């Protein structure tokens, strides 16, 4: 009897102790949805076909960008005369009562007409105030002759992993949609461009939601939804948003100037990896390693040299190269900034007067093209940028280095490796003592590729195995190339 009473008491104790666990409530998103859904709009873009577009399939938008789910099907059909204007859609959100709207660049780029439909089904023709393809942002304006509901930006720097968020969109002309989830990661680099620092969320983001806001529980926009990671086009819980700390400076510039005006340092940089830190005898694995300096650019004039490691810019610590890229871009043109660097183990500080990225970038790219003497296996390589992804319709799961140019008489061209292909990895045989084994290296930047291939060539390797994604086949596969056959017969 005593044992029964003890058991009974113990069971009651467990019940009352554990019951508070079940009283924890999930956030109620109804008020947020009701208050901010009217600020989210549907955007329909119309683009007239040009004659040259009728000669081949369109490759403007990669499959991970949100768009009309039937777009890929129709754009790949045989071309016919008298085709109707191309239509694509997305979402956006109003940021001021007088009708300024933020969306993605890819939603409206190249459009001849942009129509905005409000939550109450009112439709307006929008003016495109400015576009920024680098950050994939656009600013529109509608004249509604009345005050419009709007939503304000919050500080994405305060966002934390695990924080609840909602994604609001107005996709495919079906009306508003709201999904909820958490922030899965911050500062995510997916190698789509120099300003990668995305907020990753598991809030389902579906086709047509591109350009919609990611909102925290305080009702603030902390990100602009821009892409999903998916091989099917549907949401699998991996969505990416451009953080508000990067969005706001761009939108302010588009509003004031109709274009972006980014600061420019004039260097090519890479992260300081463990190997780099070891080779350079650095105490810490941080900073931005200068790979190249643009002749006559701001860095060159300030005395920055190839091999320098930049560790501070304007008093801010630089741990990763993208931090330098973002800080430089967001600094006023013409401003003098102190740059702290390490050169041959010695700390130095120089003062740089920043130039303007737009305009100088073309000069630098021409310089890169002139450096094609660096070509190996008849191939020149470059960064896999957002623009290249869009042009070649490269899936989001294809990560590597872009093929920029291929010699016409090379073995590579005979094996259908063309400009727009993506080198994903290099496989070769490595000999250590009496052991021979196969080594596969995933590639992340052009300099790494040139270094590996040149090392294998100098080591006497006759052949190399490359995993390449080729536009003609649209799948990745292994391709063997010979070093002594860089030019085919």
Residue 210 among the catalytic residues: yes
Q: Are 167 and 149 in contact (CB under 8 A)?
A: no
**CA pair distance 182, 238, nearest whole angstrom:** 11
* Rounded-to-integer distance, Cα 230 and Cα 207, Å: 11
Taking the alpha carbons at both ends of the chain, their separation in whole angstroms is: 97
Could you tell me which of 245, 243, 223 has the C-alpha nearest to residue 167? 223
Show the tokens assigned to 64: 């991970």
**CB–CB of 419/59 below 8 Å?**
no
- Provide the residue count of the chain: 489
Catalytic-role residue among 210, 235, 396, 476: 210
Main-chain dihedrals φ then ψ at residue 271, nearest 5 degrees: -70, 150
Residue 363: closest CA among 294, 429, 440 = 294
For residue 376, give every residue at least 6 positions away whose Cβ sits within 8 Å of its Cβ, in sequence order, or none: 450, 453, 454, 457, 486
Q: Is 299 exposed, middle or buried (0-12, 13-18, 19+ CB in 10 A)?
A: buried
Q: What residue has token string 């003062």? A: 351
Lookup: tokens for 143? 């004249």
Q: How far from 264 is each of 17, 252, 324, 335, CA to CA, in Å?
A: 61, 18, 11, 10
Cβ atoms of residues 63 and 392 within 8 Å: no
Task: Supply 57's token pair.
Answer: 């399939």
User: What whole-number distance in Å separates Cα of residue 487 and Cα of residue 412?
Assistant: 9
CA 210 to chain centre: 14
Residue 399: which residues within 8 A CB-CB, separation 6 or more? 191, 384, 422, 424, 442
| Residue 136 annotated among the catalytic residues of the structure | yes
Which of the 8 DSSP states describes residue 376?
B
CA 302 vs. chain centroid, Å, equals 30
Catalytic residue among 136, 196, 202, 308: 136
Contact (CB, 8 A) for 461 and 429: yes
Number of CB atoms found within 10 A of residue 251's CB: 24
Query: Which one is catalytic: 68, 106, 132, 196?
Result: 106
d(CA 299, CA 348): 14
Q: What is the C-alpha separation between 117 and 108, in angstroms, rounded?
A: 14
Instruction: Check if 121 is active-site.
Output: no
Tell me the residue ranges of DSSP E strands in 304-382: 309-313, 316-317, 336-343, 346-353, 355-356, 379-382
Q: Enumerate the active-site residues.
A: 106, 136, 210
């Amino acid at each position: 009897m005593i044992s029964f009473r003890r058991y009974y008491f113990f069971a009651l104790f467990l019940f009352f102790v554990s019951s508070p666990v079940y009283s924890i409530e999930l956030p109620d998103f109804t008020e947020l949805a009701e208050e901010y859904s009217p600020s989210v709009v549907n955007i329909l873009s119309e683009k007239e076909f040009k004659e040259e577009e009728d000669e081949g399939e369109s490759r403007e938008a990669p499959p991970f960008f949100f768009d009309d789910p039937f777009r890929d099907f129709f754009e790949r059909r045989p071309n016919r005369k008298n085709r109707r204007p191309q239509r694509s859609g997305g979402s956006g959100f109003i940021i001021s009562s007088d009708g300024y709207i933020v969306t993605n660049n890819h939603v409206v780029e190249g459009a001849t007409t942009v129509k905005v439909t409000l939550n109450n089904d009112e439709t307006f023709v929008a003016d495109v105030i400015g576009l920024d393809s680098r950050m994939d942002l656009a600013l529109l304006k509608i004249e509604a002759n009345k005050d419009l509901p709007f939503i304000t930006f919050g500080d994405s720097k305060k966002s934390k992993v695990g924080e609840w968020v909602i994604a609001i969109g107005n996709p495919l002309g079906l009306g508003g949609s709201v999904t909820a989830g958490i922030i899965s990661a911050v500062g995510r680099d997916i190698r789509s461009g120099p300003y990668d620092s995305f907020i990753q969320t598991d809030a389902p983001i579906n086709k047509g939601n591109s350009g919609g806001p990611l909102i925290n529980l305080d009702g603030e926009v902390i990100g602009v939804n821009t892409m999903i990671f998916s091989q099917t086009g549907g949401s699998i819980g991996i969505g990416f948003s451009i953080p508000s700390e990067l969005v706001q400076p761009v939108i302010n510039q588009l509003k004031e100037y109709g274009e972006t005006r980014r600061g420019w340092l004039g260097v090519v940089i890479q992260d300081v990896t463990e190997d780099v830190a070891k080779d350079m005898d650095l105490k810490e694995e941080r900073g931005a390693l200068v790979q190249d300096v643009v002749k006559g650019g701001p860095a060159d004039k300030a005395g920055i040299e190839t091999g320098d490691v930049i560790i501070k810019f304007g008093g801010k610590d630089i741990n990763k190269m993208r931090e330098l890229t973002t800080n430089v871009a967001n600094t006023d043109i013409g401003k003098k900034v102190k740059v702290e660097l390490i050169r041959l183990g010695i700390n130095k500080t120089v003062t740089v007067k920043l130039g303007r990225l737009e305009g100088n970038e073309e000069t630098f790219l021409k310089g890169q093209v002139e450096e094609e003497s660096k070509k190996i296996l008849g191939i020149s390589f470059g960064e896999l940028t957002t623009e290249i992804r869009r042009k070649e319709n490269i899936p989001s799961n294809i990560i590597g280095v872009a093929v920029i140019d291929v010699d016409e008489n090379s073995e590579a061209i005979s094996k259908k490796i063309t400009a727009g292909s993506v080198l994903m990895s290099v496989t070769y045989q490595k000999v250590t003592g009496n052991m021979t084994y196969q080594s596969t290296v995933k590639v992340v930047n052009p300099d790494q590729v040139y270094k590996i291939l040149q090392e294998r060539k100098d080591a006497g390797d006759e052949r190399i195995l490359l995993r390449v994604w080729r536009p003609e086949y649209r799948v990745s596969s292994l391709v063997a190339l010979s070093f002594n056959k860089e030019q085919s017969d």
